[in-house]
Structure 1
Amino acid sequence: MTEVGDILWEPTDGGLSGPLGAYLRAEGHGLGVTSTAYDDLYQASITKIGPFWRSIARFCRLAGDLGERELIGTLPDAVFFPDGFVNYAQEAYLRFRDPACIIRADESGLLERIEAHEFWRAVAQLAASLRTAGVEVGDRVAGYLPNIYEAVVGLFATASIGAIWSCTSPDFGVGAVVDRFRQIEPKVVLAVTEYRYGGRLIDRSTTLRAILDELPSVGTVIVAGSSAGMTSGPWRLVSFDEAIEGQQPLTFARVPFNHPLWVLYSSGTTGVPKAIIHSHGGIVLEHKKVLEIQNGITDGSTFFWFSSTGWMMWNFLMGGLLVGASIVLYDGSPGYPDLGQLWRLIDRAGIDFFGVSAPFLRSSQVGEVDPRLLIRGTSLRAIGSTGAPLTIDGFDWVYEHVPGSVQLISASGGTDVCTAFLGSSPMHPTRAGLIAARALGVAVAAFGESGTPVVGQMGELVITEPMPSMPIGFWNDEDRSRYHDAYFAQFPGVWRHGDWVTFYPDGSSIIYGRSDSTLNRGGVRMGTAEFYRVVEAIHGVRESLVIDTSALDRTGELILFLVLTPKATEDDVRQRVRTALREQLSPRHVPDRIFIVSDIPKTLNGKKLEVPIRRLFLGAKLAEVASSDSVANPQVLGEFEALARLPSS
């Protein structure tokens, strides 16, 4: 039986033959690193912060000017390269050139390659159309788009002008979109009136009109695909095809290093989402570093991450252009016509880095997908997994069912920094149940209750030194009070991310879930991920959610919700769950109540609603704990509301 830490994959060359090794040879000496040990490089990256990031720019061929000063101030108000000028789109243009391409794929079987020169032609024309619509440096352009080519063109055209991009997926409801876009007052909206998902064509024209009615700042609407159902309004309606006609030259506005690039959003399940602003320079440096040096994605790579435009991993995927890689866009359901769809795409598109979520790997496992029967080629070298902790069972499944010598990279990060601060490198083996390494340039640690670092025990995940892709602020937060409260209230001068984590002496780690959804049984704190590792390894369990209604002044209930696989027997699964938890965790972690439910409520980005469901069972009203527009499957909320009304055991 596989144990935590068992080695499942090792690099054959020490990981030094790719970009990481080349970086060490080119820049290590300047940072005082004389060995080839990753940990020596890591320590230099978090102690010689300014020189490290300047070396990243040099090695990854940054075109912008960083200026003389590297870093001024400290957290929470540190500023990188205050005299620098850069443009995100220009940095991509200088690396993303033919024969690199954008590969479009969808659930119908479409596979189309759009060469880099054609993409940049479209970017130039759309930028000209945006300028005609009055878009200038600092204006906002919003997208209501699935993961399609038009969204990529929209981002890079907007960035080329120095305007600010923000995007949501068309499965977001009216309230969720308005709560986001009304904050930033976009001048132009790029949108679709329909999209395909799960084999169905879903009309969004009525939703789009309702959204636009709430956004008086919009003067132009650019529609990709059909404009059926769109009536006239106080805005000009333009088709995307019309907007990219012509032969305008491609130009780039160099903007300050810390000029806003895009606005991302927190989940917004319980209120108006935070509008998180990232900078041109911060994202360029971070994505160049994490993709090329940390993950070996560069010129000649074909990079894929399954994501909607409403999840930060879409923005992460766009970073592939910054390092010259081809990127693969997938529009539609990962489970239609079956769960083998994305696995088959590996051969069809020649993917070498295949990024998905841990829940997708879990679905493939439970759905008895066998990638060995679906992958015949040899392009695949790495699988990325994020979005939730990956269980040992998940590690095992990948190495039992995915052919070839593939590096499995379990990673953790967040929308707040638009990257992973825990992951791996070409030098690290894959070890069961562990995240292999701390990312270069991220001074990440676990803090105990006393607010000091702990090793070998669970603590709050914190970042103790600045990194360039930390937000430059929240929208409409001029005094930065909301920004400070969100990350720095608990540990002054230290970023608290909100996850439980254990770090080991070798730099590996385990994420246990959100620290605001801790299970506290008899004084023993445990993250929910540790609980799920036991429960979701049990045959018959497809998915689970656990809450603890305890508080500081009283002991509450431990309540478990299970979604079963077909043909599973409720009583049998309940008994096996109780036995496994008693034996593998402790008797106090056996649930007081176990409910069988049809589905687990999740955010639009696929996160389990642990905290809102806990609040519901503590007596809050449904409307107070979750906005249906910000929940991927709002129909299941009524089921949980009814369960919350039942008397406790």
Structure 2
Amino acid sequence: MTPANPTPLWQPDADRIARAQITRFQAWAAERHGAPAEGGYAALHRWSVDELDTFWKAVTEWFDVRFSTPYTRVLGDRSMPGAQWFPGATLNYAEHALRASAARPDEPALLAVDETHEPRPVTWAELRRQVGSLAAELRALGVRPGDRVSAYVPNIPQAVVALLATTAVGGVWTSCAPDFGARSVLDRFQQVEPVVLFTVDGYRYGGKEHDRREIVAELRRELPTLRAVVHIPLLGTDTPEGALEWSDLTSADTEPVFEQVPFDHPLWVLYSSGTTGLPKAIVQSQGGILIEHLKQIGLHCDLGPEDRFFWYTSTGWMMWNFLVSGLLTGTTIVLYDGSPGHPDTGAQWRIAERTGATLFGTSAAYVMACRKAGVRPGRDHDLTRVRCVATTGSPLPPDGFSWLHDEVRDDLWIASVSGGTDVCSCFAGAVPTLPVYIGELQAPCLGTDLQSWDASGRPVVDEVGELVVTNPMPSMPIRFWNDPDGSRYHDSYFDMYPGVWRHGDWITVTSRGSVVIHGRSDSTLNRQGVRMGSADIYEAVERLPEIKESLVIGIEQPDGGYWMPLFVHLAPGAALDEDLVHRIKRTIREQLSPRHLPDEIIEVPGIPHTLTGKRIEVPVKRLLQGTPLEKAVNPGSIDDLDLLHFYEDLARKRA
């Protein structure tokens, strides 16, 4: 339960509230569109979901979205799935992403950083020139609107150029990070049949070079639809036979030509973790992403031309796509290619300092690793320019909030955000004008009718329920690839509550309007009818210095019983002795609930994750229930498949 009147950890001062773009937007929308002038964010949010059409029309006007042909109405069809946004309108995402090049040609659009931590700028004019050159070459190669263009590249400027050039010609972008193995990449790219593949010869990570030429050769063999392969010599190797050289395609001085496409024209394909079966190939639209990201980055993150936006991510995670959209608001984006902890755990703070980042985004796991390692960012780095530290990937535990407040700066806006690849955005998170409470996301986002529902579909407040969204969002998928009748899309989100998006997260919406995320609802621990999210257990247990990471699973037994093991991966030198077992149990009993004490505490060689770093609870649960490995999990989506054999053996022994 959340206490009724806790003290905020942080509150924006009057000056900050007045300067925030969301404050100016509210005053303008009150004058032009009937938004409430009083009542602050809560009133603006209520209006944004009650008057969905008017709100999104206001967003397009505020951000001066350029429709080359006008729309007939904002929402042609409201049904979910299948909402139809801005029918009749045509536009181009890349054109908007490069708009700042006219006013600020010599300012940096990109700051590229590798493990040397030396920022290399790419100006707006140079970015525009390279996109123009590459777009013309893609057209010459026969790339037409709707064709898929794929990339096996790290988080480097070439990836941004290739995405924008693809979008300029109306192609559909899709990318994987080069740490993905061949099978994982083919599970994704073979579904969408790309005509072009951008590749690197390798990448640098953790101070080492990783040669990927053999994997690239395998991708070329296994993707028969490819008409061209473009070689980016990150490690300086020669162009392989039959491939094109990156520098040859990007050297011309060509003004980009932007294909004007329908609002719902596909922009990119993202992939869900896909821990079972093939990854879901999620298609989002040029217009839907454009307006959702303008709202999210401009109003919620409060970013504009004076800002520098750094989020630690790879091209295999939706946060990379979100980061690139920082260009839409004229913001300089920071691309970091390398290990998050090289040469030491505090590396990301050094990059934030060196690049003058104003918004620094990272994972909750990184914050907790810094806390555990005794990193002192505020003492060791000049972070005065960092206004906001944002975290995602998993819920930021209360200790993470306190650590950021104490060790970075006490006047720090901490934004724990939560959304998903499925919408490439946030359902709840950053609001620059609201207080921050420990362990809570500030509020649901504008235009997002987020609620917490019980099993019978009733909204609940100050109680745990399913995260649902009851109105369409523009960035919801237009479809899944290879899902002709839409059944896989429907079953993924609309199965439990017809016509309502159920995300699969277990949340509390508080009476103050903030949101608490408890973990995935499909792996919820349910003991004697008392439900608890796994994240609550991890947060408590991983405070113990001996525990590196943990995984908790609740399994309904055939005899009606319930088996709840806690798997622990210990820190180097720690031992799972009686004392540690006793302290783990005491921690859970005192901080959470005596009902959720594990039946067994089992030491494991490691905790398996998806390639994007999420602990995999459901596949491990399936293994422990006796499902064979190949049916319980898609092997290409796991970071270390060998770890799963431990759980498989355990299931065999228990059987």
Flag whether TM exceeds 0.5 (same fold).
yes
In the alignment, is residue 559 of structure 1 matched against residue 565 of structure 2?
Answer: yes
**96-105 or 386-395, larger mean C-alpha shift:** 96-105
1:575 corresponding residue in structure 2: 582
**Which of these residues, 124, 130, 133, is aligned with residue 125 of structure 1?**
133
In the other structure, the counterpart of 2:94 is: 89
Q: Is it true that 1:108 corresponds to 2:116 in the alignment?
A: yes
Distance, in Å, in 1 between the alignment partners of 2:525 and 2:39 is 41
1:158 aligned counterpart, secondary structure:
helix
Is the contact made by 1:100 and 1:300 (CA closer than 8 Å) also made in structure 2? no
Assess if the C-alpha contact under 8 Å between 1:343 and 1:374 holds in 2. no
Partner residue in 2 for 1:456: 462
Residue 46 (1) aligns with residue 53 (2): no
Partner of 2:299: 293
Check whether the contact 1:139–1:186 (CA below 8 A) recurs between aligned residues: yes
Partner of 2:604: 597
Map of 1:10 onto structure 2: 11
- The equivalent residue for 1:20 is 22
String of CA shifts for 1:78-127, please: whole Å, max 9, x gaps.
Answer: 11101111100001111354324200001133321111110111111111
CA deviations on 1:377-399 (whole Å, 9 max, x unpaired) are 41110000000011111111111
Contact 1:3/1:432 (<8 A) preserved: no
What does residue 623 of structure 2 align with?
Answer: 616
Q: Cα gap change, 1:118/1:165 in structure 2, threshold over 3 Å: closer, same or farther? A: same
Q: Distance in 2 between matches of 1:128 and 1:640?
A: 52
Q: Residue 34 of structure 1: which of 37, 42, 52 is its match?
A: 37
Q: Does the 8 A contact of 2:278 with 2:634 survive in 1?
A: no
Give the secondary structure class of the aligned counterpart of 1:178: helix
Aligned residues: 644
Measure how far apart 1:626 and its partner are. 2.4
1:309 corresponds to which residue?
315
Which residue is 1:70 aligned to? 74
1:119 & 1:209 partners in 2: Cα distance? 29
Structural mapping, 1:137-536, within 5 Å: 137-225=145-233, 226=235, 228=237, 231-232=240-241, 236-403=242-409, 405-536=411-542
Return the offset for 1:487.
1.1
Q: 1:391, 1:260 → 2: CA distance?
A: 36
Going from structure 1 to structure 2, the CA distance change for 1:140 and 1:147 (only over 3 Å counts) comes to: same
C-alpha distance in structure 1 between counterparts of 2:39 and 2:170, whole Å: 40
Letter in structure 1 aligned against 2:469:
I
| Aligned partner letter, 2:536 | E
Amino acid at match of 1:77: G
Deviations 1:147-191 (A, max 9, x none): 111100010000011111000011111111111111111110001
Q: CA deviation at 1:456?
A: 1.2
> Is the Cα–Cα contact under 8 Å of residues 455 and 504 in structure 1 kept in the other structure?
yes
Q: Secondary structure at the match of 1:191?
A: strand
**2:418 & 2:557 partners in 1: Cα distance?**
28
Aligned-residue offset at 1:531 = 1.5
Q: Structure 1 residues 246, 597: closer, same or farther in 2, change over 3 A?
A: same
Tell me if the contact between 1:16 and 1:426 (Cα under 8 Å) persists in the aligned partners. no
1:347 & 1:80 partners in 2: Cα distance?
A: 40
Aligned-partner SS, 1:646: helix
**C-alpha contact (below 8 Å) 2:494/2:502 kept by paired residues:** yes
The answer to whether the 8 A contact 1:88-1:280 is kept is: yes
Contact in 2 for aligned 1:159/1:165 (Cα 8 Å): yes
CA distance in structure 2 between the partners assigned to 1:100 and 1:230 by the alignment: 29
User: How far is the alpha carbon of 1:642 from its aligned partner?
Assistant: 3.1
Q: Deviations over 1:289-337 (max 9, x none)?
A: 0111111111110001100101000001011000000000000110111
Q: Secondary structure at the match of 2:423?
A: coil
Task: Indicate whether 1:56 and 2:63 are aligned.
Answer: no
Deviation larger for 44-53 or 20-29: 20-29
Q: Give the AA of the match of 1:94.
A: R
TM-superposed deviation, 1:403? 2.8
Aligned: 1:630 with 2:644: no
**Contact 2:100–2:124, Cα closer than 8 Å, also in 1:** no
Instruction: Report the residue type matching 1:613 in the other structure.
Output: V
Deviation at 1:231, TM superposition (A): 4.9
Q: Distance in 1 between matches of 2:558 and 2:436?
A: 39
AA aligned to 1:53 is: W
Residue identity matched to 1:432: I
Give ranges in structure 1 of 5+ residues lacking alignment.
none
- Between 466-475 and 627-636, report the one with greater CA deviation: 627-636
Q: State the AA in 2 paired with 1:600.
A: I
- 1:412-433 deviation digits (Å, cap 9, x = unpaired): 0000000001002111111101
Distance 1:552 1:51, change over 3 A: farther
User: Which residue identity is paired with 1:520?
Assistant: N
Secondary structure class of the residue paired with 2:9? strand
Equivalent-residue separation in structure 2 for 1:453 and 1:466 (angstroms):
17
Q: Is the 2:389–2:412 Cα contact (8 Å) retained in structure 1?
A: yes
- Structure 2 vs 1, CA of residues 110 and 239 (structure 1 numbering), >3 Å: closer, same or farther? farther
Is the alpha carbon distance of 1:31 and 1:635 closer, same or farther for their aligned partners in structure 2, counting shifts above 3 Å? farther
Q: Aligned partners of 1:552 and 1:285: how far apart in 2?
A: 49
Which position in structure 1 is the counterpart of 2:544? Answer: 538
Measure the CA separation in 1 of the matches of 2:608 and 2:468: 28
Q: CA–CA distance in 1 between the matches of 2:415 and 2:559?
A: 41
1:200 shift after superposition: 1.2
Question: Could you tell me how far 1:622 is from its partner in structure 2?
Answer: 2.1
1:584 to 2:591 alignment: yes
Q: CA deviation at 1:636?
A: 2.2
Task: State the superposition RMSD in angstroms.
Answer: 1.8
Alignment check: 8 A CA contact 1:375 1:403 kept: no
Give, in whole Å, the separation in 1 of the partners of 2:420 and 2:40. 27
| Structure 2 contact 271–280 (Cα < 8 Å) conserved | yes
Give the distance between the partners of 1:243 and 1:599, measured in 2 at CA: 44
The letter for the 2-side match of 1:25 is A
Describe the SS at the equivalent of 2:426.
strand
Give the drift of 1:505. Answer: 1.7
Taking only the aligned residue pairs, the percentage that are identical comes to 42
Answer whether contact 2:423 2:477 (CA < 8 A) is retained.
Answer: yes
Structure 1 range deviating more: 247-256 or 90-99? 90-99
Specify the SS of the correspondent of 2:294.
helix
Gaps of 5+ in 2: none
